[in-house]
Amino acid sequence: MKMSKMGVKPEKLASKEADTINHKLLVQAGFVRQLMAGVYTYLPLGLRVLRKIENIVREEMDAIGGEEILMPMLHPAEIWKKTGGWDSIDVLFKLKSRTDRDYALGQSQEEVVTPTMKEFIKSYRDLPRMPYHIQWKFRDELRSKSGILRGREFLMKDMYSFHLDQADFDRFYEVAKQAYLKIYARMGLQAKVTEASGGAFSEKISYEFEVLTDAGEANILYCDSCEFCVNIDDITSYKEGDKCPKCGNSKLKPSIASEVGNVFDLGDKYSKAFDLKVATSTGEQIYPIMGCYGIGVSRTMGVIVEKFHDDKGILWPAEVAPYTVHLIDIKQQEKAQEIYNLLDSKNIEVLWDDREINVGGKFSDADLIGCPWRVIVSDKSLTTNEIEVKARQSDEPEMMSLEQFISRLKGD
């Protein structure tokens, strides 16, 4: 992509209204624009990052047997009345049509997925099933703040699972948990996993995936040596300084964190509400146990910026970076074009700053946008055939041939 052709450019100064780093940097670098509190437009750079996160999530959900579908955002009121959500869910956006019918905007999709799967799940042979989708959600959040961390409209991956019994849910929960940890690790994030809030007899067991950051809203106690954490907003018997009950190696420390995903054991609440029954191997009719598994795709993008930035801009982890290489030419357009074409032919994603602006401006924009590698084509490149390469997080540029750079990127 040539920056001269991009309609959106980074700004020199950050907006004053931003209350968090992700808001400030994502707006300043030209990734998003706020339409109103909690509602954002994803500009070309921002959309590339969002799609990369989405694709990592998709690959890992497919790998554990997820079946991708796409459910609607506009729902008839009836399905929400059936489960009681119409009156009890305070964040549910409700709207009326001109013929006075009531509708809701999807804040989650149990009410859609359960009646849909009822058509296809008839016997124990049809289980387990794990449909999922990646779709915008709407929530009437009272305080939409912290940039894209808490939206009124936000992108979520939600998977729903249907099991013959609790043991099979427990088995799959463990599989999903490992997939979640893999997803976050691919994005450079280390997620802590909360203990179940509630015991075996509680109505609902949930697990949260928390990333430590001051921009979050969860108060947790966590262990440095393993993934253990507890949310101290729930009642918990743990306190600061307690030995980690999981690994025993460290003492629990307090922190603020952002919830980037969670898992709920839904029991038979929704299968009962929609009368989804299956026949067991002995012919008995039972209600399957359901689980739901959320990942805040857009929130995760914000959390990545909160974790990976410096005073000059963003430092995108390689797998989610909008482009791998930020190419800057110092008036060597032809050579830069040659390099651009070659990198492109090797499927290396390049953002080429070919604008007629001063070099200092190009450098500061490259730092702000935060692609993992900066490549400079200068006079020297013409005589020595070498380019200047610098990793975003490093202060030490290195001269090397294009071939050496390509092998470094490919990890040879």
CB of 40 to ligand ATP, least distance (A): 10
CB of 6 to ligand ATP, least distance (A): 27
What DSSP state is assigned to residue 303?
A: H
CB of 350 to ligand ATP, least distance (A): 31
**Nearest residue to 141 (alpha-carbon basis) of 299, 27, 305:** 299
Residues 102-121 as x/- pattern, contact with ligand ATP by CB under 6 A: ------x-------------
SS3 of residue 308 by DSSP? coil
CB of 148 to ligand ATP, least distance (A): 7
**Nearest residue to 258 (alpha-carbon basis) of 294, 297, 227, 219:** 219
Peptide bond just before 72 cis, omega within 30 deg: no
| Binding flag, residue 139, ligand ATP (CB under 6 A) | yes
SS3 of residue 178 by DSSP? helix
Q: Rounded distance, CA 293 to CA 207, Å?
A: 9
The distance between the two most distant Cα atoms of the chain, rounded to a whole number of Å, is 81
CB of 263 to ligand ATP, least distance (A): 9
Nearer to ligand ATP by Cβ, of 106 and 296: the residue is 296
**Angle CA(228)–CA(230)–CA(234) in degrees, nearest 5?**
165
CB of 359 to ligand ATP, least distance (A): 38
Binds ligand ATP by CB under 6 A, chosen from 10, 46, 267, 294: 294
Binds ligand ATP by CB under 6 A, chosen from 30, 46, 106, 261: 261
**Nearest residue to 186 (alpha-carbon basis) of 304, 62, 324, 309:** 304
Binds ligand ATP by CB under 6 A, chosen from 60, 110, 210, 259: 259
Site for ligand ATP in 298-357 (CB under 6 A): 298-299
Nearer to ligand ATP by Cβ, of 218 and 315: the residue is 218
Binds ligand ATP by CB under 6 A, chosen from 32, 179, 260, 290: 260
The region of 71-79, 186-194, 295-303, 349-357 touching ligand ATP under the rule CB under 6 A is 295-303
Nearest-CB residue for ligand ATP: 296
How far is CA 161 from each of CA 27, 126, 290, 292, rounded to the nearest angstrom? Answer: 37, 12, 5, 6
Q: Round to the nearest angstrom and report the end-to-end CA distance of the chain.
A: 26
Interface residue list for ligand ATP (CB under 6 A): 108, 139, 141, 150-151, 154, 156, 259-262, 294, 296, 298-299
